[in-house]
């Protein structure tokens, strides 16, 4: 049996990271099909070492639940050949709720992350959850009209640090009025599905895993917008850190910002030089009528030299801190997302300048700089990925099948 086997021949040694040497569950078989590692029963037997009877039993449970389709069911419509197993992306939906400082983006997506319906609206800066969340619930209900598959999960993102277990913000200058507020109850009438919360940089990183080549397993994903955040992908997994606060790059202290007041209440943060709010403030000092970093980006794209210079200067400051992260983590790529990514060339020119000057030559030898794969939709795609990672995890699928018995 190969080293990739889910069950070792001696029943004890494993190579897939599972703690137990027990035979593969139905949820694990679904994961093999969903990720393209198997598409027939014989391939499942080869990968798991399970008997023909065990495979048949587990596959039957998955087809009865609607999560798997048989090739025989699709052949008449030009689908897969008889004997094939196909993940049914239409067996359910997930909801995505990306809440920013001045905008909320919502979407309904299938189990493959394909968008079914969406809604994006601006809101007042500083709006609280009691005002915004009922509106979001109403908008989600509207998006679900005519959608028949059940809602399996809800992915929600906020700027700053979140407690994923409780689904609450625990520290964000962007949405400080949300700290400690449980958000799941606001959406209880929309769907009984569980809520999964993450910060905006982490979900941006998750969106890359849905839209980027599988060969890029080590990536730094920058959320460059009103604030700055960093999502870390290591060996194909998003790292959130002990308290979910990994990647708080915007509030790293830098010498060039010494004495400058940050919106977090401290002084000397990187955001005072490179955050969108700081760049907007400097643009206004220069006589430009801008309210948001998106306005600054629009001016840069129209050829305004001041706007372009500010974005490049912000990129240089960001690149100085990124160079340290690049030396530590040796990523294959740095992805720039958020509002500043719309002016990618101008912003990244400054980032590159500092990174190549300060990072180790070996760390930058093959380094790529890329724009976010999903552009302006990265937030909702990442929220969907957050929900999908949970609801399609083998343990969650097995629990759902057990509950259906």
What is the maximum alpha-carbon separation in the chain?
A: 74
| C-alpha–C-alpha distance, residues 285 and 289, integer Å | 9
353 shares a domain with 367: yes
Q: Tell me, what's the pLDDT at 79?
A: 54
Residue 164 confidence (pLDDT): 76
pLDDT at 13: 34
Looking at the structure, tell me whether residues 220 and 312 fall in a common domain.
yes
Shared domain for 78 and 109, answered yes or no, is: no
Please give the Cα distance from 292 to 281 (Å, whole number): 9
The per-residue pLDDT for 178 is: 87
Q: Could you tell me the two tokens for 223?
A: 């959320």
Q: Is residue 17 a part of any domain in this protein?
A: no
Domain assignment of residue 47, given as a range: 26-87
Contact 75, 81 (CB under 8 A): yes
- Same domain? For 79 and 97 the reply is no
Count of domains forming the chain: 3
Query: Both 71 and 151 in a single domain?
Result: no
Residue finishing a domain among 46, 71, 87: 87
The pLDDT of residue 333? 96
What pLDDT does residue 151 have? 97
The reported pTM is 0.86
Please report whether residue 97 resides in a domain. Answer: yes
User: Which ranges of 71-199 would DSSP assign to H, the alpha helix?
Assistant: 71-75, 129-143
CA distances from 28 to 16, 25, 85 (A): 11, 5, 14
Of 65, 87, 109, the residue at which a domain comes to its end is 87
Q: Digits of tens for pLDDT over the chain (405 positions)?
A: 333 333 333 333 333 444 444 569 999 999 999 999 999 999 999 999 999 999 999 999 999 999 999 976 654 555 556 579 999 999 999 999 999 888 999 999 999 999 999 999 998 888 999 999 999 999 999 999 999 999 999 999 988 788 877 878 887 766 768 888 999 999 999 999 999 999 899 999 999 988 776 678 999 999 999 999 999 999 999 998 887 788 889 999 999 999 999 988 899 999 999 999 999 999 999 999 999 999 999 999 999 999 999 999 999 999 999 999 999 999 999 999 999 999 999 999 999 999 999 999 999 999 999 999 999 899 999 999 999 999 999 999 999 999 865
Residue 8 forms part of a structural domain: no
Of 49, 71, 87, the domain-final residue: 87
The pLDDT value given to residue 7: 35
Q: At 72, which CATH number?
A: 1.10.10
* pLDDT at site 12: 33
Residue-level pLDDT at 367: 97
Q: Is there a domain that residue 188 lies in?
A: yes
Let me know whether 155 and 300 are in one domain: no
Task: Name the one residue in this structure whose structure tokens are 């220069």.
Answer: 286
Residue 4 covered by a domain: no
Residue/partner pairs of 169-172 with CB below 8 Å, 24 or more apart: 170/243, 170/244, 171/245
Distance CA 378, CA 384 (A): 10
Please tell me the predicted confidence (pLDDT) of residue 241.
Answer: 85
Query: CATH code at 115?
Result: 3.30.420.40
Encode pLDDT of 41-93 as tens digits.
999 999 999 999 999 999 999 999 999 999 766 545 555 565 799 999 999 99
Q: Is the dihedral of CA 126, 130, 131, 137 positive or negative?
A: positive
Q: Is the domain of 108 the same as that of 172?
A: yes
What is 127-146 written as a DSSP string? --HHHHHHHHHHHHHHHTTT
What pLDDT, on the 0 to 100 scale, is given for residue 167? 77
Phi-psi sector, 312: left (phi>0), alpha (psi -120 to 50), beta: alpha
Q: 269 with 365, same domain?
A: yes
Residues 230 and 319 in one domain: yes
**Is 397 part of a structural domain of the chain?**
yes
Whether 76 maps to a domain, the answer reads yes
Do both 196 and 316 map to the same domain?
A: no
Give the bridge partners for 105, in sequence order.
98, 120
One domain, residues 293 and 251: yes
Pair (58, 98) in one structural domain = no
- Domain presence at residue 82: yes
């Amino acid at each position: 049996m190969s080293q990739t086997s889910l069950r070792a021949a001696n029943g004890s040694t494993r190579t897939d990271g599972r703690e137990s040497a027990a035979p593969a569950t139905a949820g694990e078989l679904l994961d093999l099909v969903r990720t393209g590692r198997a598409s027939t029963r014989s391939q499942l037997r080869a990968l798991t070492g399970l008997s023909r009877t065990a495979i048949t039993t587990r596959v039957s449970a998955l087809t009865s639940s609607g999560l798997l389709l048989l090739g025989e069911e699709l052949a008449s419509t030009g689908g897969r050949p008889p004997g094939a197993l196909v993940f049914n992306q239409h067996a359910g939906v997930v909801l995505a709720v990306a809440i920013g400082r001045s905008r909320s983006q919502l979407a309904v997506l299938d189990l493959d992350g394909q968008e079914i319906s969406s809604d994006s609206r601006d809101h007042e800066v500083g709006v609280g959850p009691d005002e915004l969340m009922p509106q979001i619930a109403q908008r989600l209900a509207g998006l679900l009209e005519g959608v028949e598959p059940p809602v399996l999960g809800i992915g929600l993102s906020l700027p700053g640090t979140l407690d994923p277990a409780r689904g609450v913000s625990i520290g964000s200058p962007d949405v400080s009025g949300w700290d400690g507020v449980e958000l799941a109850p606001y959406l209880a009438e929309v769907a009984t599905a569980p809520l999964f919360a993450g910060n905006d940089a982490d979900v941006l990183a998750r969106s890359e895993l849905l839209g980027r080549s599988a060969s890029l397993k080590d990536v730094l994903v920058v959320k460059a917008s009103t604030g700055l955040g960093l999502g870390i992908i290591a060996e194909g997994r998003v790292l959130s850190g002990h308290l979910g606060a990994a990647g708080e790059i915007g509030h790293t202290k830098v010498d060039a910002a010494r004495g400058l007041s940050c919106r977090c209440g401290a002084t000397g943060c990187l955001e005072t030089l490179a955050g969108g709010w700081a760049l907007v403030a400097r643009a206004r000092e220069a006589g430009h009528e801008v309210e948001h970093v998106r306005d600054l980006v629009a001016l840069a794209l129209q050829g305004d030299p001041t706007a372009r210079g500010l974005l490049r200067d912000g990129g240089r400051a960001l690149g100085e801190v990124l160079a340290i992260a690049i030396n530590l983590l040796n990523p294959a790529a740095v992805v720039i997302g958020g509002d500043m990514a719309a002016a990618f060339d101008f912003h990244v020119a400054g980032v590159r300048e500092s990174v190549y000057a300060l990072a180790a030559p070996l760390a930058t030898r093959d380094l790529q700089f890329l724009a976010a794969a999903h552009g302006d939709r990265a937030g909702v795609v990442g929220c969907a990925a957050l929900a999908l990672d949970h609801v399609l995890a083998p343990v969650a699928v097995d629990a759902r099948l057990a509950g259906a018995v």
